[in-house]
Amino acid sequence: MNHKLCSRCSPWPVVALFAVSTVVLSSFAGSFLYQGNCSSSTEVEFEESVRAPLTGPEYPPIFAYWITGTRGEHLRILRLLKAVYHPRNQYLLQLDAGSTTYERVRLAYLVRSERVFRAFGNVHVMGRAYPIDRTGPSSVSAMLHAAAVLLKIGAAWDWFIKLSTSDYPLVTQDDLLHVFSSLPRDLNFIEHAMNPENKMNQNIQNVIVDPSLYENKRSQLFYSSELRTAPDAFEIFTGSPWMILSRSLMEHCVFSWDNLPRKLLLYFTNVIHPMESYFQTVVLNSLRFRNTTINNNLWYTLGERPSAAEPISLNQSHYAAMINSGSAFGTWFRENDALLQKIDEDVLERPSSGVVPGKWCAGFADDQKTEDSNDRCSSWSDIDTVERGPSGEKLENFVSELISENI
């Protein structure tokens, strides 16, 4: 397996946001989800019929999704949630400080209004907003904070997946769970490479300050006129900001049992685009994690710099290549683009207002037939059984090739 991986992550972005996390976590049930009026007897019976997913190597894994957005994107978050939903998984939804209080309350209300989300209780909405700049270190801080929250929830999840509203799945959750069922649960899907000298000069030696770390609203990054020399205590690695990381790595990032993640977090606090290098550098400098990497993130993207100010968006001309790539996700979709509808219909088979179906869906509940005649998930059977579809076969073949190349 590929040996280019570094140490672990650190909890210090979590410490930087400690005041926020303690407020949210101390009153978890009340702060995360809008507590709607649950008075109907049907709803009570529905919720009481639910059980927690079975865990262990003989059962499918559990993914912890962190889905983020900003002003005007609460409906995009809800659509993305439904496209990646499965009762086994855990979901944390977060609108940053660019959103309004109304949007955050509305998102929580819409989640609470969905019968299936209430029943399984696995969708959580962040109750407090703070600024996140995807080009600055506040993005790393926010990701570590999200991991801490998902660990606090306590579910025995296996992998952490970060999604934004520009992302969308290219396989069903049954497909993804089926493929990952046969994998070692310490694997990390993260693109990485040695930092080229020219990029070292541009991104590493330049010193920046991200006001989003200490202000209530997002502000422009500050650039210092001073340059710093390249570090010699560790090697810098770079890659894609999209990744699928193991629970063990995220625990190490949050709890930081050795000093390297802390040092790296402090170092990358003044680096532009740290999401392209922090986790890569942590993993590849770590003796424990460097042999757990697959040098691919299972994302389909266009362009060499997905973090650029004007990324290249996917459109219908990319559909065939994208679906045949074997990737699990694609990125830089435009809002309400026809390509998303095509994926919903042809790949996910997801109804317009429903969640992506899977083996766990049992058909139509008698009292729900009038809500959405196409919703096969208004009742369910076994949430611990998954079934691979055609897209899952492509993903499985792709992952098998990657593992053979990295071992």
> What does each of the 407 residues of the chain score in pLDDT, given as a tens digit?
444 333 334 433 333 333 333 333 333 333 343 333 333 333 333 444 467 899 999 999 999 999 999 999 999 999 999 999 999 999 999 999 999 999 999 999 999 999 999 999 999 999 889 999 999 999 999 999 999 999 999 779 999 999 999 999 999 999 999 999 999 999 999 999 987 665 666 778 888 888 888 888 777 787 777 888 888 899 999 999 999 999 999 999 999 888 888 899 999 999 999 999 999 999 999 999 999 999 999 999 987 554 555 678 999 999 999 999 999 999 999 999 999 999 999 999 999 999 999 999 987 554 444 444 467 898 888 999 999 999 999 999 999 999 999 86
227 C-beta neighbours (distance < 10 Å), count: 10
**Angstrom distance (rounded) from CA 305 to CA 311:** 7
The pLDDT of residue 143: 98
Q: 221-225: long-range contacts (C-beta < 8 A, 24 or more apart)?
A: 221/133, 221/135, 221/136, 221/272, 224/270
Instruction: Provide the β-strand partners of residue 142.
Output: none
* 293-to-178, 181, 279 alpha-carbon distances in Å: 20, 17, 11
Instruction: Pick the closest to residue 189 from 63, 307, 19 (CA basis).
Output: 63
Alpha-helical regions (H) of 115-246 = 115-120, 138-153, 173-181, 197-199
pLDDT for 220 equals 78
pLDDT of 33 reads 38
What's residue 200's pLDDT?
A: 61
Query: d(Cα 74, Cα 209) in Å, to the nearest integer?
Result: 29
Confidence at residue 47, expressed as pLDDT on a 0 to 100 scale: 44
Q: Are 136 and 215 in contact (CB under 8 A)?
A: no
Asked if residue 282 lies in contact with residue 258, where contact means CB atoms within 8 angstroms, the answer is: no
**Which of left, alpha, beta for 94 (phi over 0: left; psi -120 to 50: alpha)?**
beta
In one-letter notation, the amino acid at residue 194 is: M
pLDDT of residue 219: 76
Sole residue written with tokens 């629970």: 247
CB atoms within 10 A of CB 311: 15
Q: Tell me, what's the pLDDT at 160?
A: 99
> Distance between CA 378 and CA 369 in Å, rounded?
8
Q: What is the DSSP secondary structure assignment for residue 379, as one 8-state letter?
A: E
Give the per-residue pLDDT at 116: 94
d(CA 314, CA 300): 9
Q: Any idea what DSSP says for residue 291?
A: G
Q: Are 27 and 318 in contact (CB under 8 A)?
A: no
Q: What is the CB neighbour count within 10 angstroms for residue 219?
A: 15
CA distance readout (Å), 64 to 97, 161, 215, 315, 366:
23, 6, 28, 28, 31
Distance CA 50, CA 269 (A): 43
pLDDT of residue 11: 39
Q: What is the DSSP letter of 386?
A: -
